[in-house]
C-alpha cells in the first residue's frame, strides 16, 4: 500500500496522486498547481475529496488513497486504495454514458445526469487496491 504522505502530488507520467486514508484527523492541501490546473484535496479516514479548478472531481466514503489519476477525452483512470469498501463519485461530462472497468473487468454501463456525477462501489476490504477505468460509450 502506497498512501500519499504529501496529500497531493504530481507524477512523472502526468497524472496526480492524492489522499491518505490512514489519517485520523482531517487534512487538506490547497492551491496545488499541476499541468496548468489548480487542485484542492481534503482527506482522512472517513472521506477524500478532490477539486480541480474549483469544480468537483472525486469523492470517496470512507477515505481512500488514489494513485495515478489521469483524465482523458473519454473518461478517467486511477488506482484506488483503502482499508474498507468505498463508495466513489467522480465528476465527468453531463448526461453521458460510460463503461466502468474494475481490475480490467467490465462492471457495466452507467450514466451521468445534469450534475455529471457517476457513482461506483470499490470492494477494497479484502484486496486493498483496485484499478478503475471509466470510458465513454
Query: pTM of the prediction?
Result: 0.95
- Provide the residue range defining the domain that includes 89: 8-136
Taken as a whole, the chain contains a residue count of: 137
Please identify every stretch of the chain with a pLDDT value under 50, giving residue numbers as ranges.
none
d(CA 95, CA 104): 24
1 domain residue, yes or no: no
User: In CATH, what number is assigned to the domain containing residue 75?
Assistant: 2.60.40
113 domain residue, yes or no: yes
* Span between the terminal Cα atoms of the chain, in Å: 32
Is 70 buried (19+), middle (13-18) or exposed (0-12) by CB count in 10 A?
Answer: middle
118 domain residue, yes or no: yes
2 domain residue, yes or no: no
Number of domains in the chain: 1
22 domain residue, yes or no: yes
31 domain residue, yes or no: yes
pLDDT of residue 4: 85
84 domain residue, yes or no: yes
pLDDT of residue 5: 85
pLDDT of residue 88: 98
95 domain residue, yes or no: yes
Amino acid at each position: 500500500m502506497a498512501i500519499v504522505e504529501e496529500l497531493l502530488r504530481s507524477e512523472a507520467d502526468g497524472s496526480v496522486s492524492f489522499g491518505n486514508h490512514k489519517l485520523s484527523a482531517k487534512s487538506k492541501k490547497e492551491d496545488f498547481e499541476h499541468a496548468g490546473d489548480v487542485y484542492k484535496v481534503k482527506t482522512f479516514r472517513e472521506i477524500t475529496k478532490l477539486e480541480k479548478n474549483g469544480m468537483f472531481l472525486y469523492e470517496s466514503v470512507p477515505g481512500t488513497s488514489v494513485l495515478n489519476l489521469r483524465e482523458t477525452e473519454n473518461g478517467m483512470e486511477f488506482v484506488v486504495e483503502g482499508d474498507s469498501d468505498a463508495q466513489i463519485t467522480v465528476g465527468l461530462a453531463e448526461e453521458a454514458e460510460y463503461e466502468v472497468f474494475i481490475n480490467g473487468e467490465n462492471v457495466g454501463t452507467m450514466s451521468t445526469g445534469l450534475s455529471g456525477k457517476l457513482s461506483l462501489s470499490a470492494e477494497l476490504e479484502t484486496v486493498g487496491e483496485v484499478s478503475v477505468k471509466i470510458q465513454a460509450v
